[in-house]
Structure 1
Amino acid sequence: MASRFKEYVRGSKGSPEEAKLLRKLDFFILTFCCLVYFFNYLDRSNLTNAYVSGMKEELNFKGNQLTVINTIFTVGYIVGQVPSNLALTYVRPRIFLPAMTILWAGLTMITAAVHNPQGIMAIRFFLGVAESSTFVGTHYILGTWYTEKELGKRSGIFTASGLAGTMFGGFIQTGIHSSLDGAHGLSGWRWLFIIDGIITLPVAMYGIFLFPDTPSTTSAPYLSASERSLAISRVPETGVVRTPLNLTFAKRLFGTWYWYGFVMLWVIAGETESFSSNTLLALYMKAHPTIKYTVAQLNNYPTGVPAVGIVSTLFWATLTDSLGGKRYLVGYFIAITGIVTSVLILTRFSDTPTVFGAYYWAGAVYACQATFFAWCNDVMRYQDARLRSVVLASMNMGNNAVNAWWSILFYSADFAPKFAKGMWAMIGCSIALAVWTSVVLYMSAREEKKQRSRTIVYPEDITPPIVSTKN
C-alpha cells in the first residue's frame, strides 16, 4: 500500500537524485500544509456543528445571525488574502505560516468563552485574517517547488486534507458532545473549540523547525547542497524573481490577462461550492418539515459531502496530470454537476433520499479548488514569483468578496430547507462557468503558443550548408 501511494504521488519517474528530493519535499511540505489545512477546515466546519449541537439555543441565536457570522469571517479572510501572500515573498514561509497558525489556534480557543453571537462575530473577523494565509499561501509554495507533471496531485492531496477536516469535524463534534458535554460546567460545543485550538499548536511548532521555505531561500537541514541546487534547477529562473511593489508592478498586473482571467474563473467556480461551503445539507436537515434528526445524525450525515469531494478532488487531480495538465475538463464537469443537482432539488424536493443524493453529488464540485489553482500555477510558471503570488491571492479574494454577500442573498439559514433562490443561482453559475472556462482555455493556449515560440532551440552541432560559388 505504501509503495502504491509513493508511486501515485511521484507520477513519472525521474533520476534517483530527483526521486529522493521529491520524497523529502513531499514529506515535509505536504505534512505541514495538509495538517494546517485540515485543522483550518475543521475549525470552519465546526462552527456549524456547534450551532446544531446546542450553541444556537445556549447563545440565543436569532434569524440569520449564523450567516452574518460566516460573512464577517469571510470579510476578514478577504482582507488578509493579498497581504498574506505578499508577506511570503518578504518573510520566510517557515516563520510566517506557523505564526498565523498559532494566532488562529488561540482565537479558536477564545471562542469557547463567548456568551452571545456578537462575541463570536468579533472573534471570527480576526480568525478570518489569520486563516487567510493557509490556502493561497500553500498553492504559492507548491508552485515554487513542483513541476507541471507533479503539481496537480500535490494540490489535490492538499485540498483533500481540508475536506477531510470538514468530514471528520462532524464525528469529532459527536464524540466530544457525548463524552465532554457538561464536563467542568462547559457545554460540549465549547470543548470542541478548546480542543481544536490545542491540537493545532504542535503542528505550528513543527513548521517553524522543519518547513523548507522556497528553493532559493531554503536552509532546511535535511536538504544537501546538491539537492538545493537541483530544486532550483527544476523551476524556471523567472520563478524566483521578485519585482518591487510599485506602479510598474501594478500596471503589469492589471495589464495582462492573468489577473482578470483567473480571478473571474475562481469567482464563478467558488460559488458553485456554495451547497457544500454553506453546509446546506446540515441546515436542510435541521429545518426538515417532517423528520426530526438527532444531534448525532445532524453532525454525521453531512460528512458524506466532503467525502465525495475528496474522491472527486483526487480523481480529477490525477486525471488532469496524466492528460498533460488539461485542467479545463473540471470546469465542464462542475457545470454539468451544478445544473443537474439543482434541478433535482427543485423538482424532487418532497423525495428526501433524492435531495440527500443531490447534496452528496454536489460535493464533487470541490475538485475545482486543486485543479484551478494548479492551472494558474501552470500558466504563470514563467512569470515572476511576486506577480504569481498576487494573482493566486486575488483569485481567492475575489471569490470570497462575492461570497460575503452571495451566501446571505441565496443561502441564508432562514431560507432552509429548500433554498429555492440558491438553486437557481447555482444553475446560473454553472452555465457561466462553462463559458468562462472556454475563455481561459483559449487565453492559456495562446499563451503557451507564444511561450513555445520564444523558446525555440537551434542546435549548435548542425553545420550550415556550404554554398558553392563555382559554376
Structure 2
Amino acid sequence: MGVVTKAREYLNPHYQPGERKLLQKIDFFILTFCCMSYFMNYLDRSNLANAYVSGMKEELAFRGDQFNQINTCFTVGYIVGQIPSNLSLQYVKPRIFFPSMMVIWAGLTMVTASAHSPQAIMAIRFFLGLLEASTFAGTHYILGSWYTERELGKRSGIFTASGLAGTMIGGFIQTGIHSSLDGARGLSGWRWLFIIDGLITFPVALYGFLLFPDTPLSTRAFYLTESERALAASRMPQVQHSSPMSLAFCKRVLLSWQWWGFVILWTIAGETESFSSNSLLALYMKSHPSHKYAVSQLNNYPTGVPAVGIVSTILWATLTDFLGGKRYLVGYFIGITGVATAAMILGAQHHDFLSGPSTTAVVFGAYYWAGSVYACQATFFAWANDALRYHDGAFRAVVLAGMNMGSNTVNAWWSIVFYGASMAPWFTRGMWAMIAVSIALAFWSAVLSYLTARDEKSRLPLEGTPASSSHDKGCGQV
C-alpha cells in the first residue's frame, strides 16, 4: 500500500498555485533547446565513427590507431574547455553563450568535409572539443538551476537520452547519405555527412538565441510573467554568491569532499561508458574474423547500443526520482552489468567456434546490454546537483565541469590503451579494464552515498523553512 501511495504522490504531486503552468513552460523551452543542442553535439561525435567505416578510412589512408588519436584530440579540447565554459555562465547569459558555441562548431563540422588527411581532422576535432565542452556540464548546471530534486532526475534523463538519440540516428543518416549522395558533386558520402550535420545545427542555435530563458534570477523571457519569474526563483534555495576569481574560492573547491567525491565518481563511471562510446561494436564488425558486413550494416547494427541506453537512462532517472533521489543504486547496477558483459566477450573470444554465428550473437548481445551503462550520465549528474543545491552557483558549476573534465582526462588516453582500433575485434585488454572499473564504481558509489547522507543529516537540524523541505529540494543558481 505504501508503494501505491508513493506512486500516486509521484504521478500527481502537489503544486503551488501557478507552478504546474510554470513547469510546462520551462520544460518546453529549456528541454527542447537543450535536447536539440545535445542531439547535434552527439550526432557530430558519433558521425566520425560512421564516416570512418563508410569510406573515410580508405580515402584518407588511415593507419594504426589514428582514428583513436583523432578522438583523443577532441577529448583534449573538451577537457580544456570544461571549467572555462561553465564559469562563463556566471558572466555571459546562457541564451547568448550556448547558441554562439553552436554556431562556431557547426562551421567547423562543415569544414571537416574538406579534410584530406587524418592530421587535418585531428586539428579540427581539437577545436570542436573546445567548443562542444559548453553543452553537457553546462546544461546540467542549467537544469539544476530550474528544477527541484523531485523533478531533476527525469529531466536529466530526457536530456541525456537526446544525445544517445543523436548517436543512434547518426547511423541511419549516414546510411541514407551514403546511398543517395555518395559521389554527388564529386564528394564522397562521408563528406556530405559533415556538411549536412553542420547545416542542421544552425536553426537550433537560432532557436536558442530567441527563446532560451537563462536562469531563474536572470531570465527576461517574454513568455514568463513577473509572478512566474518570482515563483521560479522561490523554488530554489537562496544561497550567498561568491566570486570564482579568487584564491579562496579555488581553495574551497579543492578542499571540499564534493569536488573529490563527484569528480572521482564520474571519472570511474566515464570509463564504464567508454565501452560503448568508443564504437567497439562497429569496430568489431569492421574487423570480424569471418564475415564482411555491408556499409549499411556497419552503420545500422550498432544503433542498438544507444537505443538500449535511451531506455535505461530514462528508466533509471525516473526510478531514482521516485525513490527519493537514491542515485547511488545506478552505480551497483552498472557494476554488475560491466562485469557481466565484459566476461561474455572474453568467453566468446575463447569459444571453440571462434567465428561461428553463436559467438557473434553473444558478442552482439553483450554490446547491446552494455549500452544500458549510459544510465549513469543522467543519474550521477542529478546526484551531484542534489548534493550541491545549497552551495552557490559558481561552486556547483565548477564541480559539474570538474566531473566531466576528470572523466575526459582519462578518456584522452584510455581509448588508445584499451580500445585502439588495431585491437579489434576482441579488445581483450579493454575487457579486463571494464571489469576493473565496474567493480571500482560499485565501491565508490557506496562511499559517496555515505558522504552525501552524512552531509544531508548534518544540515537537517538547520532547515526550518518550507523552501528547505524535502518536497522542494533544489539547487542554487546565479
Q: Please report the TM-score for the alignment, with normalisation by the length of structure 2.
A: 0.93
Q: Deviations over 1:116-143 (max 9, x none)?
A: 1111011000000000000000000000
The structure-2 alpha-carbon separation of the partners of 1:11 and 1:190, relative to structure 1 and needing over 3 Å to count, comes to farther
The residue aligned with 1:87 is 88
The residue aligned with 1:259 is 259
The residue aligned with 1:352 is 360
Give 1:454 deviation, angstroms: 1.6
- Show the 5 A alignment for 1:445-464: 445-456=453-464
SS where residue 56 of structure 2 aligns? helix
Q: Deviations over 1:314-373 (max 9, x none)?
A: 000010000000000000000000000000000123311000000000000000000000
Regions of 4+ moved over 6 Å: 7-11
Identity, % of aligned positions: 69
Letter paired with 1:267? T
The structure-2 alpha-carbon separation of the partners of 1:59 and 1:224, relative to structure 1 and needing over 3 Å to count, comes to same
Q: Deviations over 1:95-130 (max 9, x none)?
A: 000000001100000000011111101100000000
**Rounded Cα–Cα distance in structure 1 between residues aligned with 2:244 and 2:75:** 29
Give 1:256 deviation, angstroms: 1.3
The structure having more radius of gyration, on CA atoms, is: 1
The residue aligned with 1:381 is 389
The residue aligned with 1:467 is none
- Show the 5 A alignment for 1:42-441: 42-238=43-239, 241-349=241-349, 350=354, 351-441=359-449
Q: Deviations over 1:405-433 (max 9, x none)?
A: 11110000000000000000000001100
SS where residue 379 of structure 2 aligns? helix
Q: Tell me, which stretches of 5 or more residues in structure 2 are unaligned?
A: 1-7, 467-478
SS where residue 290 of structure 1 aligns? coil
Q: Deviations over 1:6-45 (max 9, x none)?
A: x999862413500000000000000000001001100100
The structure-2 alpha-carbon separation of the partners of 1:353 and 1:146, relative to structure 1 and needing over 3 Å to count, comes to same
Q: Tell me, which stretches of 5 or more residues in structure 1 are unaligned?
A: 1-6, 459-471
Contact persistence 2:268–2:437 (CA under 8 A): yes
Q: Deviations over 1:213-249 (max 9, x none)?
A: 00000000000000000000000101x7243420110
SS where residue 200 of structure 2 aligns? helix
SS where residue 115 of structure 1 aligns? coil
Contact persistence 1:85–1:137 (CA under 8 A): yes
**Rounded Cα–Cα distance in structure 1 between residues aligned with 2:416 and 2:205:** 33
Letter paired with 1:369? Q
Number of positions where the alignment pairs a residue of Structure 1 with one of Structure 2: 451
The structure-2 alpha-carbon separation of the partners of 1:194 and 1:15, relative to structure 1 and needing over 3 Å to count, comes to same
Letter paired with 1:398? G
The structure-2 alpha-carbon separation of the partners of 1:430 and 1:397, relative to structure 1 and needing over 3 Å to count, comes to same
Letter paired with 2:119? Q
**Rounded Cα–Cα distance in structure 2 between residues aligned with 1:15 and 1:227:** 11
Contact persistence 1:10–1:150 (CA under 8 A): no
The structure-2 alpha-carbon separation of the partners of 1:419 and 1:396, relative to structure 1 and needing over 3 Å to count, comes to same
SS where residue 64 of structure 2 aligns? coil
Q: Deviations over 1:375-429 (max 9, x none)?
A: 0000100000000000000000000000101111000000000000000000000
**Rounded Cα–Cα distance in structure 2 between residues aligned with 1:243 and 1:330:** 34
Letter paired with 2:205? A
Contact persistence 1:89–1:242 (CA under 8 A): no
Output the aligned Cα RMSD. 1.5
Q: Deviations over 1:61-93 (max 9, x none)?
A: 111100000000000000000000000111000
**Rounded Cα–Cα distance in structure 1 between residues aligned with 2:331 and 2:315:** 14
Contact persistence 1:215–1:228 (CA under 8 A): yes
Contact persistence 2:275–2:370 (CA under 8 A): yes
The structure-2 alpha-carbon separation of the partners of 1:109 and 1:256, relative to structure 1 and needing over 3 Å to count, comes to same
Letter paired with 1:14? Y
SS where residue 18 of structure 2 aligns? helix
**Rounded Cα–Cα distance in structure 2 between residues aligned with 1:387 and 1:51:** 40
